[in-house]
């Protein structure tokens, strides 16, 4: 299993060592084992038991392992098993040799068949998905899909989306693509990006919602091309690898300094193409672009710089607030009650489709937890003074984001707070939408939207 999935294994909290428990493999058969048990409990009792077993699974990967099973139970759960054991070409003999599924994965498959509790984790989810598809266990496919959707991050999303495409799992594919759009900056720089198929790369670069600066899109595409070129990494070979994907890069959006310093020396564009793009830039867009695309990506991040504001001097302090809350809500309907418990910046959008992606500030290092509308959330990361949301937050009326800070609680909120909130009336236009930042915490430096 790829190292890209190891983080999911830790996140799942499953104890994979339980899968090798000898007690499961040696189920005792007492005379009264059926008493007071439901049908489901009786079937579960037979899991890995030789009692009434009429088939065993052996493995070319490890010839010392042998799992007893029951044809009737397997056939109840899977039409593939039914055909295998009762079809016109039924397996003969008392054993079935498994060549393409490892013993620990098959053990998880059998546990699902008998108990509906497969114990999926980050180490086995993709092999289990393969086996679930092979044996047409739709319930296990769904469990694998749910696990993957709940554990997507920048390090595994490229691997997951390729599996979703291969197995035609559309909801999972859409979830992956949405994550990539919202988290493009981190996904483009992740090691897994260069492992994408050309079709998936092309699909990603086509998206208007890709939340990244265009120069970073170009750099990521170059790394992908270099990886797929083999030993010969000439500009022509990389161009051949990218194919149509090259023309999904919005070269006119790249600042002229970056274009001259990074793009031109790469050798991936012909002299004629370079001339076309330089002329387009020099004439402010009045000359034709040929095959190249233009137009901003609406998903690209936009940052509002608040460092220019002197909180302590130019803004009015909002009472004696603790550092526990950051509220985003309708400016016209703000209540005094909400203000009393706020360490907040408030944003009132006029329009739709603006999402809060990240914030930077000195207070970030003190954050111990976050909630939106009172619901705890764990889909964020901090790096120094910067905080990223894995799933950007829609900025709409009556959205409350609470930052829980270390060494602060509601008991001491009105005693000696070490963090302050200030009223403001900062108006910005973000992605064509007018927003008003009506309150900001001390130490807030930038707010980034996608």
Q: List the domain boundaries for the chain.
A: 3-151, 168-282, 302-449
CA distances from 333 to 315, 398, 439 (A): 21, 9, 14
Instruction: Count other Cβ atoms within 10 Å, centred on residue 236.
Output: 12
CA dihedral (274, 279, 284, 286) in degrees, to 10, reads -110
Catalogue the E-assigned strands of 70-131.
95-98
In this prediction, residue 397 carries a pLDDT of 61
pLDDT at 443: 76
Query: CA-to-CA distance for 141 and 149, rounded, in angstroms?
Result: 12
In CATH, which of 3.30.710.10, 3.40.50.2020, 3.30.300.130, 3.40.47.10 is domain 3-151? 3.30.710.10
User: Which pLDDT value is given to residue 333?
Assistant: 38
- Please tell me the distance from the alpha carbon of residue 36 to that of residue 371, in angstroms, as a whole number: 45
Longest dimension (CA), the chain: 90
Degrees, nearest 5: CA angle 294-299-300 = 75
State residue 43's pLDDT score: 92
Of the chain, the end-to-end C-alpha distance in Å amounts to: 34
pLDDT computed for residue 337 by the predictor: 35
Check: CB of residue 357 under 8 Å from CB of residue 392: yes
Q: Which residues contact 231 (CB under 8 A, 6 or more apart)?
A: none
What is the Cα–Cα distance from 183 to 450, expressed in whole angstroms?
9
Contacts of 105 (CB under 8 A, 6+ apart): 124, 127, 128, 131
pLDDT value at residue 367: 83
| pLDDT averaged over 10-residue windows placed end to end, the chain, 450 residues | 56 45 45 83 93 94 93 96 90 89 96 95 95 97 95 94 96 93 90 96 93 92 93 89 96 93 95 95 90 79 71 52 46 38 44 72 84 81 81 72 64 44 72 72 79
Q: How far apart are CA 173 and CA 32, in angstroms?
A: 49
Please tell me whether the overall predicted TM-score, pTM, comes out greater than 0.85 for this model. no
How many Cβ atoms are within 10 Å of 39's Cβ, its own excluded? 7
DSSP string, 16-51: GGGGG-HHHHT----TTTTTT--HHHHHHHTTT--T
CATH class of segment(s) 168-282: mainly alpha
Tokens 């294994």 belong to residue: 9
The tokens of 98 are what? 């498994």
pLDDT at 76: 95
How many residues appear in the chain?
450
Neighbours of 431 (CB within 10 A): 18
Q: Encode 207-265 in three state secondary structure.
A: CCCCCCCHHHHHHHHHHHHHHHHCCCCCHHHHHHHHHHHHHHCCHHHCCHHHHHHHHHH
């Amino acid at each position: 299993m790829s190292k890209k999935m190891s983080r999911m294994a830790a996140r799942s909290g499953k104890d994979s060592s339980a899968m090798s428990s000898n007690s499961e493999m040696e189920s005792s058969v007492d005379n009264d084992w059926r008493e007071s048990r439901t049908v489901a409990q009786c079937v579960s009792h037979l899991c890995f038991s030789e009692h009434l077993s009429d088939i065993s699974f052996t493995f070319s990967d490890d010839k010392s392992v042998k799992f007893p099973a029951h044809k009737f139970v397997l056939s109840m759960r899977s039409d593939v098993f039914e055909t295998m054991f009762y079809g016109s070409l039924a397996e003969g003999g008392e054993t079935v040799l498994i060549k393409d599924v490892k013993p620990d994965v098959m053990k998880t498959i059998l546990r699902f068949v008998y108990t509906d509790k497969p114990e999926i984790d980050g180490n086995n989810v993709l092999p289990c998905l393969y086996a679930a598809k092979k044996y047409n266990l739709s319930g296990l496919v769904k469990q694998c899909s749910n696990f993957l959707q709940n554990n997507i991050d920048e390090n595994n999303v490229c691997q997951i989306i390729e599996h979703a495409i291969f197995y035609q799992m559309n909801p999972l594919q859409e979830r992956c693509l949405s994550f990539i759009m919202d988290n493009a900056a981190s996904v483009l720089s992740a090691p897994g990006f260069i492992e994408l198929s050309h079709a998936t790369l092309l699909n990603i670069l086509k998206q208007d919602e890709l939340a990244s600066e265009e120069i970073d899109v170009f750099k990521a595409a170059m790394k992908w091309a270099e990886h797929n070129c083999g030993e010969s990494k000439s500009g022509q070979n990389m161009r051949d690898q990218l194919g149509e994907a090259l023309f999904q890069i919005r070269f006119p959006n790249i600042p002229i300094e970056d274009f001259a310093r990074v793009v031109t020396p790469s050798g991936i564009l012909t002299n004629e193409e370079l001339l076309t793009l330089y002329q387009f830039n020099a004439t402010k867009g009045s000359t034709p672009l040929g095959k190249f695309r233009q137009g901003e990506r609406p998903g690209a991040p936009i940052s509002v710089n608040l460092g220019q504001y002197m909180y302590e001097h130019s803004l009015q302090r909002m009472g004696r607030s603790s550092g526990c809350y950051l509220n985003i809500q309708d400016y016209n309907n703000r209540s005094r009650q909400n203000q009393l418990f706020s360490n907040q910046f408030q944003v009132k959008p006029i329009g739709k489709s603006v999402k809060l992606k990240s914030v930077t500030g000195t207070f970030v290092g003190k954050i111990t937890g976050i909630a939106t509308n009172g619901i705890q959330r764990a889909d964020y990361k901090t790096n120094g003074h910067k905080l990223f949301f894995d799933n950007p937050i829609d900025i709409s009326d009556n959205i409350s984001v609470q930052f829980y800070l270390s060494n602060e609680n509601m008991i001491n909120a009105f005693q000696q707070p070490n963090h302050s909130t200030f009223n403001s009336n900062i108006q910005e236009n973000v992605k064509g939408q007018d927003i008003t930042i009506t309150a900001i915490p001390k130490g807030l430096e930038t707010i980034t939207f996608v």
